[in-house]
Structure 1
Amino acid sequence: MTPDHTTVRPAATAAGRMRGRLGLLLAAAAFAGTDLGLKAWVTTALDGRRIEGGLVDLQLAYNPGVAFSLGANAPGWTVLAVTGLITAAVAVALWRTAGAGRRLWGIALAAILGGALANLIDRAADGQVTDYLHTGWWPTFNLADTFIVLGGLTIAALSFREPAPTAGPADEQD
């Protein structure tokens, strides 16, 4: 008989699922707040200046598009609507899978949600995202982008180790 590498976890109570969900939403809010705070600071502190930091410099830039300026020429409402829908889908995924007991999956989703929320909130103000991390060999980006990428890479790595968490019957009742 070969060992089964699937871990069976006991079903979480409704209160435990709710605490897990709220904890992950707070983590997403912390990710978003960190990036939004930095965006507010760099907007006033950098205004045309560049602060050299070695591998990554601080340099203010604005992006009306999404990753790598894709969609920069699209109507602003379209970019805002699409990114809003994607952000909502990530929020639903986080909410539905939070009770599955896979903490690293939840943290990765919280990082993606926090980054997406920060960029969505920033974009809603004037139709563009504030970028401030500059390498010289990569397009200028922000901390929210980093959260999204690291969360996505974590999920990709975890998917090789175990299947994605799914909402069980108890989760659908909440």
Structure 2
Amino acid sequence: MAAARWRHARRALVATAAVLASAALVLDPIAREALSGGRTVDLGLLQLRLAYNTGVAFSLGNQLPTIVILAATAAITAAIAVFAWRTAPESRPIQTIGLAAIVAGAAANVIDRLLDGKVTDYFHTGWWPTFNLADTYITCGVVLVIGALLLDSTPTSKDHTP
């Protein structure tokens, strides 16, 4: 029974990460094509505007050689993927989904960078750096993982038996 649960949790992790990463990677060339030539789409609070990021979050390290950024982000992504794989069987489903989202977003950005040395960004708010769907996965995944950890640390009535 435990082995089946392990396989199921890990399959869910891999399937969720694969679907999310695929969606982000499909959207990148669509955004590049639709928003080329300086075209923008105003959606109210959000604007679609093409930008490229040669660094990591908030363009940090954009002066570093591409191979350094690529190696560092790939190594971090691999480490998170290994952690997610190892912890999935014991994790709450919400934590597994959060880790899958983080892995998917990080992997999609690594693959995007691998293609041409930069990450394609297209969501613009005017008050936050321009970002992409993969970045959204990472952010939402972190929120889910933190939420799961907070749920695990919340005392229950059985923890306070006299």
Q: Which runs of 5+ in 2 are unaligned?
A: 154-162
1:134 CA drift (Å):
0.5
Letter in 2 for 1:84: A
- Corresponding residue to 1:149 among 139, 155, 159: 139
2:66 is aligned with 1:58: no
SS of residue in 2 equivalent to 1:65: coil
The CA RMSD measured in Å over matched residues stands at 1.2
The 4+ residue runs of structure 1 with deviation greater than 3 A are: none
Q: How does 1:26-41 map to 2 (within 5 A)?
A: 26-41=15-30
What residue in structure 1 maps to residue 8 of structure 2? 19
Measure, in 1, the Cα distance between the counterparts of 2:48 and 2:96: 30
What residue in structure 2 maps to residue 73 of structure 1? 63
Measure, in 2, the Cα distance between the counterparts of 1:105 and 1:137: 29
Could you tell me the TM-score, scaled by structure 1's length?
A: 0.83
Measure, in 1, the Cα distance between the counterparts of 2:120 and 2:72: 18
Which stretch shows the higher mean deviation, 146-155 or 61-70? 146-155
Q: Which runs of 5+ in 1 are unaligned?
A: 1-11, 164-174
Q: Is the 8 A contact 2:92 2:148 kept in 1?
A: no
What residue in structure 2 maps to residue 127 of structure 1? 117
SS of residue in 2 equivalent to 1:162: helix
Measure, in 1, the Cα distance between the counterparts of 2:147 and 2:63: 34
SS of residue in 1 equivalent to 2:129: coil
Could you tell me the TM-score, scaled by structure 2's length?
A: 0.89
SS of residue in 1 equivalent to 2:85: helix
SS of residue in 1 equivalent to 2:13: helix
Letter in 2 for 1:139: P
1:158 CA drift (Å):
2.3
Count of matched residue pairs: 152
Which stretch shows the higher mean deviation, 114-123 or 13-22? 13-22
Higher helix share goes to which structure? 2
Measure, in 2, the Cα distance between the counterparts of 1:104 and 1:116: 18
SS of residue in 2 equivalent to 1:60: strand
Measure, in 1, the Cα distance between the counterparts of 2:42 and 2:53: 21
Measure, in 1, the Cα distance between the counterparts of 2:52 and 2:115: 12
Measure, in 2, the Cα distance between the counterparts of 1:13 and 1:94: 18
1:151 CA drift (Å):
0.8
Measure, in 1, the Cα distance between the counterparts of 2:152 and 2:5: 22
Measure, in 2, the Cα distance between the counterparts of 1:143 and 1:74: 24
Q: Is the 8 A contact 2:97 2:144 kept in 1?
A: no
